[in-house]
């Protein structure tokens, strides 16, 4: 059986966890947490990084930080994971879903402006498959209507956007706030884990407080105040240093992991492009402003029926391919609340995407087998 995913261990994880344990401090913000923060801040120029226990938590922190209140509207794609929406729903926001592009699952930047009202407070973009959204247009709208931009960069580690001035920006450095995931299905992992990136300085002090149960404990540990107490709302969003120790071992191998994943991605692309040329499937399109971090390899089938048949065919050949994201506006939780437009592109990706196995240890022989079985399905 070729599983859909297999977490990759670099070999150093247990050693670093052992060191964290021996160091005698395994709660949050220990030595390894600081090493991870420094890694991200220096490699990607993020203004301030705070590890969290998940990307979901980082998104919840973002919703608190921009002061989402009952009735505020937040625009986001429907084709995304539930956490993108839940974080804001938890604070009473009304979610306004926008469609994807026809040939790209990301939010259609040209579909956003018509959804903006005086109640709109933020645009949440999701860099699907780690490929950038059209950020110039989105930032322009945000400036025009004074909205916050939050990047759900769960899948977008080590991926970049080239803006209209030709500047190359790491994803996660563009919005006011950004959230990354280190869930075991992502490129860089810690089992469960995430990170809030703060690019707008006005949020730094409060973010530290919210992450520490609404206390100013971070300031206390830095010696900036002589006692700490309850100063704001908050929760326990920070991970144990054991998690950070694991993550740091991954970060040290980031280039190696990324190189291998890109190799696998390109191998799939080469092996499947004749099917696209024959218009039997669609392959991912990398926009000229985006890079590919090889988070995901997906193909787009003609319709739901064909997709179901393909996944079954692969399963019968012991290959674990999956689909995901039922459009959120059609979910059991949201469909009776949804009053917006038809989101046909979002529905298309919900019905037609198949994700193929992509993990560090996947061999060329296995990839070739998967390619062969897909070609066989299409009668090649
Ligand atoms: C994985 C993912 C999340 C959730 O990440 P967790 O770390 O599991 O909370 C959120 N949004 C998107 C787009 C994701 O892919």
Q: How many CB atoms lie within 10 A of CB 349?
A: 25
pLDDT, tens digit, 9 for 90 and up, residues 118-146: 999 999 999 999 999 999 999 999 999 99
Dist. CA 180 → ligand 1 center (Å): 8
Lowest mean pLDDT among 179-183, 322-326, 332-336: 322-326
Centre of ligand 1 from the C-alpha of residue 365, in Å:
30
pLDDT, residue 380, reads 74
Q: What does the pLDDT average to over 357-369?
A: 98
Q: Is the pLDDT of residue 55 over 80?
A: yes
> What's the pLDDT score for residue 108?
98
**Torsion 72-172-219-18 (CA) sign:** positive
Å from CA of 190 to ligand 1 middle: 13
Q: What angle do CA 131, 285, 355 make, to 5 degrees?
A: 75
Reported confidence tier of residue 59, pLDDT bands at 50, 70, 90: very high
Residues 31 and 50: their CA atoms lie apart, in Å, by 13
Q: How far is the CA of 197 from the centre of ligand 1 (A)?
A: 15
Q: Which residues line ligand 1 (CB under 6 A)?
A: 54-56, 80-81, 83-84, 126, 152, 154-155, 181, 183, 194
- Residue 84 binned pLDDT confidence (cut-offs 50, 70, 90): very high
- Supply the mean pLDDT for the chain: 97
Please state, for a pLDDT cut of 90, what percent of the chain lies above it. 99
Question: Do 265 and 297 touch, CB atoms closer than 8 A?
Answer: yes
Calpha distance 40→144 (Å, rounded): 30
Q: How far is the CA of 221 from the centre of ligand 1 (A)?
A: 30
Most ligand 1 atoms within 8 A of CB, residue of 106, 127, 159, 183 to mutate? 183
In this prediction, residues 58-77 reach a mean pLDDT of: 98
Average pLDDT over residues 326-333: 96
Distance 56 CA to ligand 1 centre (A): 6
With a cut of 80, say whether residue 276 has pLDDT above it: yes
Atom index in ligand 1 nearest the CA of residue 181 equals 7
Of ligand 1's listed atoms, the one at least distance from the Cα of 194 is 7
Ligand 1 atom closest to Cα of 80? 13
CA within 13 Å, CB half, 243: 23
pLDDT tens digits, one per residue of 93-124: 999 999 999 999 999 999 999 999 999 999 99
**pLDDT band at 88, cuts 50/70/90?**
very high
Q: pLDDT (tens digit, 9 = 90+) per residue, 222-264? A: 999 999 999 999 999 999 999 999 999 999 999 999 999 999 9
Q: Percent of the chain scored above 70 by pLDDT?
A: 100
């Amino acid at each position: 059986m070729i599983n859909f995913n297999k977490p990759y261990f670099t070999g150093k994880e247990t050693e670093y966890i052992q060191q964290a344990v021996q160091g005698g401090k395994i709660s949050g913000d220990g030595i390894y947490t600081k090493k991870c923060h420094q890694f991200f801040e220096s490699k990607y120029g993020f203004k301030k990084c705070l590890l969290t226990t998940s990307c979901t938590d980082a998104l919840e922190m973002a919703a608190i930080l921009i002061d989402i209140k009952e009735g505020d509207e937040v625009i986001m794609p429907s084709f995304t994971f539930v956490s993108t929406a839940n974080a804001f729903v938890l604070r009473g926001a009304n979610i306004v879903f926008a469609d994807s592009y026809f040939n790209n699952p990301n939010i259609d930047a040209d579909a956003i402006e018509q959804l903006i009202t005086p109640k709109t407070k933020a645009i949440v973009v999701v860099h699907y498959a780690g490929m950038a959204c059209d950020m110039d247009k989105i930032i322009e709208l945000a400036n025009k209507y004074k909205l916050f931009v939050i990047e759900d960069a769960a899948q977008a580690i080590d991926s970049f956007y080239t803006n209209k001035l030709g500047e190359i920006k790491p994803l996660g450095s563009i919005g006011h706030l950004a959230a990354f995931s280190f869930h075991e299905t992502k490129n860089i992992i810690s089992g469960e884990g995430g990170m809030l990136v703060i690019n707008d300085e006005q949020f730094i002090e409060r973010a530290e407080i919210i992450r520490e149960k609404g206390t100013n404990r971070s300031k206390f540990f830095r010696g900036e105040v002589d006692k700490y107490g309850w100063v704001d709302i908050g929760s326990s969003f920070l991970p144990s240093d054991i998690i950070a120790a694991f993550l740091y071992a991954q970060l040290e191998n980031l280039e190696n992991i990324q190189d291998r994943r890109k190799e696998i991605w390109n191998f799939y692309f080469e092996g499947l492009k004749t099917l696209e040329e024959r218009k039997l499937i669609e392959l991912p399109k990398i926009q000229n402003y985006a890079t590919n971090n090889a988070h995901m390899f997906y193909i787009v089938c003609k319709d739901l029926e064909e997709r179901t048949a393909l996944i079954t065919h692969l399963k019968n050949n012991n290959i674990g391919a999956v689909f995901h994201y039922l459009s959120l506006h059609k979910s059991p939780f949201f469909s009776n609340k949804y009053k917006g437009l038809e989101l046909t592109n979002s529905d298309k990706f919900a019905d037609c995407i198949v994700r193929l196995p992509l993990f560090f240890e996947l061999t060329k022989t296995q990839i070739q087998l998967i390619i062969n079985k897909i070609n066989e399905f299409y009668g090649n």
